[in-house]
Each structure stands twice: as C-alpha cells, then as structure tokens.
Chains A and B, each alone.
Chain A
C-alpha cells in the first residue's frame, strides 16, 4: 500500500498496516524532519522493523536532491540477515510501484570470517585466524614479494578485485551476506573488500552495533559516513551494556605471558631488519615525527583496527619522542608488562581510578600518560613496519596496548579492579586486572555528535526516561507505543506456587531447594502435555540450568517430559547451540513439538525469535538478576548512584526485568500470532518488580493471574489455547480498528490520528 505522511509518500509492502505502525512512522518522520535523535518503544510483534525500513527509505526517496544515508545497526549477524530480507521485500515492492527510480544499494557488512570465499582462508578456526590468514595473502608487502616470486601464494579473489579497480562495484539491489558471497564467486572478486568499498556508496548499510560503537572498528569502517545519515539501533534495550563492553579490557596472566612472547618476537624482527633493511625503520621514524594522521594513506588491505577512542586532535599530534624509535617503544612495553605483572601479584582485591593508576605507572615504570595514550597506534605502526601478517598471534600485546591507551585517555567513568582469584573459587589463584567502563555515554557520544539522527528503538525500553540519562543525550521524540489488539493474543501469568502450593523462586535461599526444583519440573511437565508445538524455557544462569536439568534427570522428571516433546538445550558452545536450534525448529515444523532450554542474557535470549509455532509458551524460571557479587557490577552501581542518582536496587531490578521481558517477548511476531508467558517466581507478584515490565505485557497481566499455582496455570493455559484456536476478525472488533487499509488511512487523514491512541 501507499500513503501520505505529511509531505512524504510512504511505500509499505503489505495491503494493510497496524495503527501503531502508522503512528510509529509519524513520530519517526517528525524526528527526521527535526534532524534530531529519538527514542521509540514499540512492543514486539507489531512489525517495528518493516515500519522503520519503509519510512526511512521512503523519506530518502522523497528527497532526491538531498539523499540521506541509512545506517541500520543490529546486534547480531542473523538479525542482519532478517532485516535485509525484509528490506528485499520492501525494495521489490518499491521497484514495482516506482520503477527504476526506487533503485537503491543496500548491503550487510560483516567480518572476513563471514564474507570470505577463499576456501583456504575461510576454513580457519575463528575470526582472528581468518583475518590473519587473509592478511598473509593480501598484505601489501606479501603482494610485492609475490610479484617477483610467483611461488608465494596470493588470493586470486583479491587480485581480481584489485585489477578491476574502479569497475569493481555492486549493481543496485539488496545484498545479504550470502548474496555478497554469491556475487563475489560469480565475478571472482573478494566480497569482503568489495563490501567494504561499497559501504561508502550504499544507500542502506546494515551492520552490527560494534561497527559504530567500538572505536577500534568504527575508526576504519564508519569513518567516511556522511553527517546526513540516519542511524538506527534496533533492539537497543541492551545498548548501554554494549557501549560499556566496547571500552572495557581485562588482562590475565596468560595475556601477560603472551605479550612477553610477542615483544620478544618483535625485538627479533627489529634486529633482523636492522641487519637487512635499516631504511625501513628510519622511514617509520620519520613518518612518526610527522604525526599519526598519515595512517590513512596505507593501502586498504593493510588497514588495521583503529585507535580506541582517540579524539581527532590528538591524532594530528606527533608521537612522543621517547617511543618513536622501535627499540625504545619495545622497552616501554616491557616495563609496562612488568608493572602489570607486579600488580597482579596482589593478595587482596584492589580498586582504583585511572588517574591514580597512571600516576603509579609513572612513578614506578617511568611511563607518562601521553606515552600510554599513544601505545595502540605506535604498536600498530610498528607491526606494519615489521611486516607482521600473522596478527592473530599478536592479540595479547594488542590487548595490553588497548588497555594502555584507554587508561591514558580517560580520567573518569572508569575503574581498575584487580582480583587475585575468582570469588566463587577462592582456592584457585586466577588473578585478573580489569579496566571497566561505567559510563555508557562515552562510547556512544561520537555517534550522537557525528550523525544527524540517531534512532534508538526496541520492544522493551521501559522505563523510557532512563535511557537518555544513561546515554546522556536529548531525544527530540521519546515515545512508548501500546499494542492495539484484535484479541488477547498474549497471556502473561505469574506463577508463585508449585503443585504442592509451596512458593517457588530462584532467590538465593530457595535456589537449590529440591522442592523448588521439583515444582519447576512439575510445572514444565504439566505444560508440555497441554501446549502444542514449541515451548521455550529460560533459566537465570548456565550453572543453574545445568543443575536443575541434572536433578530433573535424576528424579525421572526429564524422562517424563521427553515422553511428550523432544528436549534441546543451549550450551556455551555456539556451534552446538546453533545446531540444537536448527533441530528445534525442525521438530516444531514437523509437528513433533519440542522444548528449548535457554539462559536469560544468553545468546539465544538476545537474538533468536520463537514466533508462531516455534514458541507457544515461554517459561521464565526465576528473576534474571545480574551476578551481584561481581566487583565490576558493584563499581558500576556505585558510579550510577554518584553520577545519575540511580539507586542500586532500582537499577538491578530494572536490568533483571528488562531481560525477563526480552526473553518472553520473543514469542510474538504479529497479531495473528499468540503465545503464553509464565513468570515462575514468587517475586514477580510484588509490585515493585512487576511494575518494571513493559506496558504491553502489564496491560495483559490480569489481577487474577498474579498469584497462580501450577494447576491453575495449566487450566488457564488450556482455556487460552482453546480460545486462540477460534476464528476471529482480523480487522478488529467493537468499533476499534486494528488493521488499516489504504482507504482507511485516506479517510482518516492525519488530523484525527491522535484520537485513535
């Protein structure tokens, strides 16, 4: 369908639209008009992504003179694929109605690991080794050598790509990662470098958060994005955590040992160069005198992860004199590693701020703040000079330099915590030094400053006023939408008691109570016999899940559960979990039905949808609080209290409940879908906890469902499922429209829209 929002003609690839999608688009358009940032919460299952894509592309189409670029950030690669396939659908529709004028270039960008088509490179184990294997074939010095000596291997895809030079471009269209690989194979070009190049020209770029938030990556990938861009962070309820993680580093004993090895290797290389090619080192020295800004002139294939968060003006400064020479720099690194090693030998937990830490480095190791700050770039320059291509071997020294640069750059919002052993296993020494960032706004600040509009959106952003504070920005639009419902297609319940009427909880004192474990098991058993197709269970942690599944196994409950459905389980091994998920879907597809055990805050909870028959019921066993004994968390809570006056308890509850809401929200995808949510813990019945849930769940949570036991829950489930199986009128009942057609929209106009909500 096609409709007007003020001066923009919006192309929407379906015959009908939900009213909240329309309202969402209106708000979004106002934010774009105002060239400001916005914060929008809309429940899952209301087609947020397609509304976003369709409005922003239509907006860009309506202003051909001043084209805006659209940067869409997803949390994960599979969400990227999903987004791109929705965009494909939309693009086809726009092409049908507008013809060639609607042509755009949209593509997803990921690492070499996901894009490489060279079979020898891509077979490497992990991302870092793929990167290194690629560099071994494509680094400028390797190619120079190969030009003389044909026996040195190069990558034919990269060579072809380089040869075609300016002709190597992608024709307009929407490219998923798979499409990029297919196109690369067809043309014989390297898809990774092609995509990297095309990102500058594309109308729509879809990539992971980190390409904007992690300064190391953002520096090279997103450097040339124009200001007139719309940046969208979808599923952004965890954005503060991502920001914090982007600027945190941890150093262990293994890191230090590895770093020492790296330093030795580099010093050998320096000696070798001194003997054979002293000119190179001198040239580097001269380059460093002129400043780091030259780095941009390096060939594309050598491009490095850029400096972690150095402000631009520093980049123009020259590297301090005492680390310009390679040997001097290495000895600085040696001293730094030695210093950290000494700090790790502590008996007690230590915590200090960056300023104190830098001062102590200065007095004990003779390294001042400025030298620390330049470590990362200096290392990077040195490694290029030394022509090191197996970069995956050098991760340890990179970590150390990363740490040095961060600690030398920021004076507040960070703390350094040294723990001699893990709190839970005090008898095993495992010292770790952690630089943790507490201020989420530090990493996202450059994004807000650089781009015209930043849209932060998710299904769960409650309480919505907290996010601007955490991220320190001023949205022009901040709204939370409710779901207009044709029928009560979600059924949240709070289960406080088990089948024996005793309370259930994952609270510390009840956690390992066999009675609670049994009650949880009975609940699941009851539900597998009632609910068809898929059931998803979330637990509060891996160890809790392992424990309870084992105890169900021992008591025979698991066997009974398996009489009804197949059981799959998330593990910490991603490959295995992915295969388990794939099998889970197959089991649901073939009608056999299955149960998936997963962990709140885990990878599955973060990004996998259990819509339609893949999930008719979610059970959240317990309240997924963070591990509260963690020093990092305590330090962050302290920071939040001092800086934003947010109480610790409030933040912890907010955080736990947003995770719980996130978990249960994965069952609904559209209004034709339906699903039940069971919050199985007595603490959910308390108002202070419950009220932190997003409004669209709360509005369905009836008072009668606040204090249930297993048998009552099973009864409600039966009733609900039977009700959902009845035919219903999709367009809405009782005079309230829940599905709008083109004609409806025209009739309505923009004037009386406000009355609808």
Chain B
C-alpha cells in the first residue's frame, strides 16, 4: 500500500531495445502520469519521456531469474524494456507502474468517453469515480471487460456500470473480495510453495527472516524446523523442553507462538459479539469446582510441570490455525519461489492488517447490520430484497431426464441427420417393436456380425475406460477442474470469452423489449459484437488437441447455445418489427 501512495519513484536501470541488447545505463523516474528515462551519458540519444496513458500493459521476469526486467508495451505496438540492478528495485517500479497504468488509463479514457456518448448526462461524483477506478484496479477481469466493451465502443460507461450497481455498493461496505484459495492440505509435500508454513506459523517466518542467511543456511534452518516438528509429533513435552534448553534456535520453533497469541488478542475484539465467548468468561462470577455441567476437566494434571507449559502444543490448535490460513487465502501476490521474499511479503501484509484499527467505523456498522439481519426471523417477514423468482423444479428426476433427452436429440441430429425419431411411443408399441427385433434376430441369427467381436470389444473398452476415468476424475478432487487440464492459453481464452459473452448477453437481454431507438441501436451493436465472438469459439474448439476436444466442446457448447438463442430472438424480433413497421409510423 505504501508504494501506491508514493508520488515519485527513481531507480537506476538500463534501457534496452531488445532483451539481448546490452542496454544504456541511466536513471528511470516514475511519476503519477508519466515516466522519463535519462541516460547517464547525456550525449546518448536514448531519452524517453512517455505518458502512462499510452502504455497498454507491462510484463516482468520472475524473481530470481537471470535478469530483472520490466517491459512496458505501448498502444501503438512499441515497447520499452528496462533492466534493473536487483529484483526489489524492479518490484517497486513494477507495482508503481501497475497502479499508474490503471489510474491513468481509467482517468484518460473516461473523459472522452463521456463526451462521445450523448445519452450519458449523469454527473459522477468524485467518490463514485474513485470507487469505479478502484474496482477496475482490483479486478483484472473486470478491467479487461471494460477495455473490451467500453473502450471498444460497444457499451457506454453508464451501461457498463449499471449492471454492477451491487458490486459498487459492496465495495463501499468493504466486503472482502474473492481470493485465490490455498489448498486445504496440512500435509502438503511442498508446503513452502505457497508460503503456507510462514502463514500458519508467524514465529517460523520471523525466525527465518532473522536467521537466514546470516546465522545459518536455508538448509540448516529447515532441518531444525523439521526436527522441531518431529519433537512435537512425538508429544514428548519433556524431551522437547530438554532439547530446547540446549539449542536456543530450536527453542524458537518449539515454544508457543507468541505472535499468534498476540494476533488472537487483537482479532478477538473484532469478533461478532453474538458468538464472543470470551465475554462470557468475563461475566462469570463463579469460581467453580465443577465446570461445564459435569464435563470432566482434564487440565488439572498439568499442575506439576508448569515449566513445560510453553512447549505444549495441541493438534487442535494447529488444526484451527491451518483452517484459518486456508480460509484467508493467498494474501500476497508475490511471484512465488523465493522463500525470503514470500516471508517478507507475508510479514508486511500481516503488519498492515493488524494496524487496521479494530474500532473502524465501517466495520462496526457492518457488524451491527449483520447482527440485525441475523436476528430477524426470515419466514415471518416478507423478504428484504426484491423477490427473485424461485427455481421451480417440481421433480428433479424429471428435470434431469429431460436434459438427457435434449442431449440425445442433439446427438441424434448430428449423427443421423434428418432422421425423425418418434418419441412418444406407447408401451404396447414399444413392446411390439422389441418383439419384432428379437424375432428378427432369432430368425437371422447373429452369424454375421458387422465387425469382429474382438475389435468391437477393444473399441468399446477404450471408449468406456476413457469415459469412466474421466467421470471418475472429474469433480473428484475439488481443487482440480477440467479447466486445469487445458493448456494455459486455451483456458484463458475460454474464460475471457465466457465473461465477455456473459456481459454482452446481460446487456442484450436487458435491452428487450425494445421501446426506443436507443435500445434498438444498442441491441444491434451487441448482436454484432457477439457474432464476432462466435467464430472465435469455433476456432478454439478446433485448435485444441483431440483428447481435450470433447471437454472443450462441452464447455463451449452452452456458450454457443446461449448465443444462438440470442441471435434467434434478435432475428425474430427484427422480422416482427419489419412486419409491423407498415402499421406503425414510428417503428416501435
């Protein structure tokens, strides 16, 4: 956060015309709306002074790779490559550039947009504007959509945001946005990969920052850590205490995590008062011999060895902490891989989080609203939100059967062309036909199978195995989906198309019934945009490898269907309109 507030960033860097180029050493200066590059050698011709407005995007190399590069791509296709002396420098610039691009891009674009669309007479307050910009910055998908449609002239700014009123409001009340989740796996073989150990055990994180690499090497550090984990797993408190007494670094791992305790103390103040059991403790005026109504307590056995208390760690504690971390999700967006930077980033975010005041007005308000919402008995009262038509599936089996029938009919269409299937058959008819078939077979016998039975069996087996293994694997593991098995490019393309189709369809359907000329042009514009996407989807389907094609087409199919439905509706409407236009002079 601190980086964003910074107004100017100045760093040493080399400008390169290409990646291979040795580059010109100089100074890169970043301000809010532009960046300048001054070479150390004043006579060098390589000078730049570019507005961020013209910059389309930025790329960067991974931390820990050979070069610390930052590549800024321009609208017109040009690009600027800078090499930095080290990664932290690069990262500072990278963050700054990212925010500057989003900011300037937004600010620069919305202004002309407003004048271009005549209907948009809405005056935006500064706060509103800020919120929109913030949303765009936070959500890259949204930004993409915005760029594609608003800048592309298909939708107006107001139209785009009209469907996102809720999002704007939510953001106002500062709901947490969705984050990438961590795997819910306490025994991952590579827990370091996403900084899970550091997130779950702040003391280990702190120790890492303190010890590595000055006091010990990375390897030694993790060896000690593993030793401590092993000691914990043996549940031998006394042995743990003995080893800790000899080795003070090991003791760090073995002792209770003070940082967690402090964190808990801070967090408890923000807890919903309707489940705050700590408050009950504070109200308990009885010092009881029998607590919890006859529940045997098993803590009095610990009276003897209070010196071992810090080394006691329960599995349940670990369980809770793990779940809390998983729930929080990945809070850092650092390029993973470098242990140290992960640890640092985590420490920073935690710090920022705790610095947030517990008595935050927004939080308080939200908490109150939440409580009052929770206390209401829902079915005694008409719902608060406008009623949504309930999904009415009277008999689920019916629903699924009909879906299956649909699938079959489309399948049938593609395979057998125009062959008409008689769907409504009475039992008698079915029986008769079955009987006929059987007698036919009886009569002719199965002497001449069309294909060799072995081959048939093999084919069937192959097919069935593929299907069943797919069926077995899909959805079996909640952390993996079909999408993960696709190549990255295809996946991203698919997701992008999916979101843009959704956006377009939302606007398309909301413009019906067409009552004004404005809506008519809008619908036409949207239809055109959609018909551009249509072939692209087909392309994707054809471009993927054969073994994935089935799955991709399964994914693409609903999109195509939705588009088809929209086109059909549009065409029908146009026909209706032209038919009626004779009767009605104004066309509506």
Partners in one complex: yes
Chain A: residues with CB nearer than 8 A to chain B?
A: 14-18, 47, 50, 76-79, 81-82, 85-86, 88-89, 110-111, 113-114, 126-127, 130, 176-178, 208, 210-211, 214, 216-217, 238, 241, 244-246, 248-250, 254, 305, 395, 399, 422, 424-425, 428, 430, 432, 434, 436, 541-543, 546, 549-550, 553, 559, 562-572, 574-583, 585-587, 590, 592, 594, 597, 599, 601-604, 606-608, 626-627, 630, 632-633, 655, 659, 669-673, 722, 726-727, 730, 739
Which of B158-166, B314-322, B350-358, B539-547 lines the interface with chain A? B314-322
Question: Closest CB-CB distance, B304 to chain A, in whole Å?
Answer: 7
Most buried by B among A78, A244, A546, A627: A78
> CA separation between A245 and B295, bound complex, in Å?
13
Question: Closest CB-CB distance, B3 to chain A, in whole Å?
Answer: 28
24 contacts between A and B (CB under 8 A): A14-B381, A76-B283, A77-B282, A85-B274, A127-B284, A177-B273, A214-B285, A241-B293, A305-B285, A424-B296, A541-B295, A546-B316, A549-B315, A568-B320, A575-B264, A577-B277, A580-B323, A580-B324, A583-B323, A594-B323, A603-B277, A671-B379, A672-B379, A739-B379
Which of B6-14, B120-128, B386-394, B577-585 lines the interface with chain A? B386-394
Q: Are A630 and B296 in contact (CB under 8 A)?
A: yes
Q: Are A422 and B320 in contact (CB under 8 A)?
A: no
Question: Closest CB-CB distance, A626 to chain B, in whole Å?
Answer: 4
Question: Closest CB-CB distance, B466 to chain A, in whole Å?
Answer: 24
Which of B56-64, B148-156, B184-192, B500-508 lines the interface with chain A? B184-192
> CA separation between A574 and B280, bound complex, in Å?
9
Q: Are A602 and B292 in contact (CB under 8 A)?
A: yes
Given A78-B275, A567-B319, 6 more A-B residue pairs with CB atoms under 8 Å apart are A572-B299, A575-B264, A583-B320, A632-B289, A727-B390, A730-B379
Neighbouring A residues of B298 by C-beta, 8 Å: 424, 542-543
B309: interface (CB < 8 Å): no
B2: interface (CB < 8 Å): no
Question: Closest CB-CB distance, A400 to chain B, in whole Å?
Answer: 12
> Lowest 9 A-B CB distances belong to which pairs?
A250-B289, A113-B282, A626-B294, A14-B380, A672-B379, A77-B279, A627-B296, A569-B316, A566-B323
Neighbouring A residues of B242 by C-beta, 8 Å: none
> Please, which residue of chain A has its CB at the minimum distance from the CB of B179?
A590
> CA separation between A678 and B186, bound complex, in Å?
28
Q: Are A569 and B290 in contact (CB under 8 A)?
A: no
Neighbouring B residues of A580 by C-beta, 8 Å: 320, 323-324
Question: Closest CB-CB distance, B144 to chain A, in whole Å?
Answer: 24
Neighbouring B residues of A250 by C-beta, 8 Å: 288-289
Neighbouring B residues of A126 by C-beta, 8 Å: 281-282
> Please, which residue of chain A has its CB at the minimum distance from the CB of B178?
A590
Q: Are A217 and B285 in contact (CB under 8 A)?
A: yes
Q: Are A563 and B272 in contact (CB under 8 A)?
A: no
Q: Are B380 and A47 in contact (CB under 8 A)?
A: yes
B477: interface (CB < 8 Å): yes
Q: Are B296 and A81 in contact (CB under 8 A)?
A: no
Chain B: residues with CB nearer than 8 A to chain A?
A: 178, 181, 184-187, 264-265, 267-268, 271-301, 303-304, 314-317, 319-320, 323-324, 326-327, 371-372, 375-382, 390-394, 396, 477-478
One of B267, B319, B381 near A579 (C-beta < 8 A): B267
Q: Are A599 and B295 in contact (CB under 8 A)?
A: yes
Question: Closest CB-CB distance, A253 to chain B, in whole Å?
Answer: 9
> CA separation between A127 and B282, bound complex, in Å?
5
Given A113-B283, A586-B327, also A571-B316 (CB < 8 A): yes
> Please, which residue of chain B has its CB at the minimum distance from the CB of A21?
B380
Q: Are A248 and B289 in contact (CB under 8 A)?
A: yes
One of A14, A78, A599 near B280 (C-beta < 8 A): A78
Q: Are A575 and B265 in contact (CB under 8 A)?
A: yes
Q: Are A579 and B271 in contact (CB under 8 A)?
A: yes
> Please, which residue of chain A has its CB at the minimum distance from the CB of B287?
A399
Neighbouring A residues of B301 by C-beta, 8 Å: 422, 425, 428
Q: Are B317 and A89 in contact (CB under 8 A)?
A: no
Neighbouring A residues of B380 by C-beta, 8 Å: 14-18, 47, 670, 739
Q: Are A110 and B282 in contact (CB under 8 A)?
A: yes
Q: Are B327 and A592 in contact (CB under 8 A)?
A: yes
Given A567-B323, A594-B323, also A585-B284 (CB < 8 A): no
Neighbouring A residues of B294 by C-beta, 8 Å: 241, 601, 626-627, 630, 633, 655
Question: Closest CB-CB distance, A582 to chain B, in whole Å?
Answer: 5
Q: Are B283 and A111 in contact (CB under 8 A)?
A: yes
> CA separation between A570 and B289, bound complex, in Å?
21
> CA separation between A729 and B303, bound complex, in Å?
59
Q: Are A111 and B378 in contact (CB under 8 A)?
A: no
> CA separation between A543 and B297, bound complex, in Å?
9
Given A50-B377, A730-B379, also A576-B281 (CB < 8 A): no
Question: Closest CB-CB distance, A429 to chain B, in whole Å?
Answer: 10
Neighbouring A residues of B391 by C-beta, 8 Å: 727
Neighbouring B residues of A730 by C-beta, 8 Å: 379
> CA separation between A567 and B281, bound complex, in Å?
25
One of B283, B316, B320, B377 near A14 (C-beta < 8 A): B377
Neighbouring B residues of A578 by C-beta, 8 Å: 268, 271, 275-278
> CA separation between A542 and B291, bound complex, in Å?
13
> CA separation between A604 and B295, bound complex, in Å?
13
Neighbouring B residues of A78 by C-beta, 8 Å: 273-277, 279-280
Question: Closest CB-CB distance, A328 to chain B, in whole Å?
Answer: 27
Question: Closest CB-CB distance, A440 to chain B, in whole Å?
Answer: 12
Q: Are A430 and B320 in contact (CB under 8 A)?
A: no
Neighbouring B residues of A673 by C-beta, 8 Å: 378
Neighbouring B residues of A577 by C-beta, 8 Å: 277
Neighbouring B residues of A592 by C-beta, 8 Å: 181, 327
> CA separation between A583 and B317, bound complex, in Å?
13
Q: Are A114 and B283 in contact (CB under 8 A)?
A: yes
Neighbouring B residues of A726 by C-beta, 8 Å: 393-394
> CA separation between A249 and B286, bound complex, in Å?
9
Neighbouring B residues of A590 by C-beta, 8 Å: 178, 327
> Please, which residue of chain B has its CB at the minimum distance from the CB of A211?
B285
> CA separation between A597 and B323, bound complex, in Å?
13
Question: Closest CB-CB distance, A71 to chain B, in whole Å?
Answer: 16
> Please, which residue of chain B has its CB at the minimum distance from the CB of A629?
B296
> CA separation between A726 and B390, bound complex, in Å?
9
> Please, which residue of chain A has its CB at the minimum distance from the CB of B477?
A563
Q: Are A85 and B282 in contact (CB under 8 A)?
A: no
> CA separation between A727 and B274, bound complex, in Å?
30
Given A546-B315, A566-B323, also A576-B275 (CB < 8 A): no
Neighbouring A residues of B295 by C-beta, 8 Å: 541-542, 599, 601-602, 626-627
Question: Closest CB-CB distance, A354 to chain B, in whole Å?
Answer: 16
One of A77, A583, A722 near B276 (C-beta < 8 A): A77
Q: Are B319 and A114 in contact (CB under 8 A)?
A: no
> CA separation between A436 and B181, bound complex, in Å?
52
Q: Are B268 and A575 in contact (CB under 8 A)?
A: yes
Neighbouring A residues of B303 by C-beta, 8 Å: 254, 430
Q: Are B184 and A562 in contact (CB under 8 A)?
A: yes
> CA separation between A587 and B325, bound complex, in Å?
11
Question: Closest CB-CB distance, B20 to chain A, in whole Å?
Answer: 47
> Please, which residue of chain A has its CB at the minimum distance from the CB of B373?
A85
One of A216, A399, A566, A587 near B285 (C-beta < 8 A): A216
> CA separation between A669 and B378, bound complex, in Å?
9
> Please, which residue of chain A has its CB at the minimum distance from the CB of B316?
A569
> CA separation between A50 and B377, bound complex, in Å?
9
Q: Are A127 and B281 in contact (CB under 8 A)?
A: yes
Question: Closest CB-CB distance, B303 to chain A, in whole Å?
Answer: 7
Q: Are B327 and A76 in contact (CB under 8 A)?
A: no
Most buried by B among A246, A572, A587: A572
Q: Are A579 and B323 in contact (CB under 8 A)?
A: no
Q: Are A248 and B271 in contact (CB under 8 A)?
A: no
Neighbouring B residues of A399 by C-beta, 8 Å: 287
Neighbouring A residues of B289 by C-beta, 8 Å: 245, 248-250, 432, 434, 436, 632
Q: Are B277 and A76 in contact (CB under 8 A)?
A: yes
Q: Are A722 and B396 in contact (CB under 8 A)?
A: yes
> Please, which residue of chain B has its CB at the minimum distance from the CB of A608?
B275
Neighbouring B residues of A576 by C-beta, 8 Å: 264, 317, 320
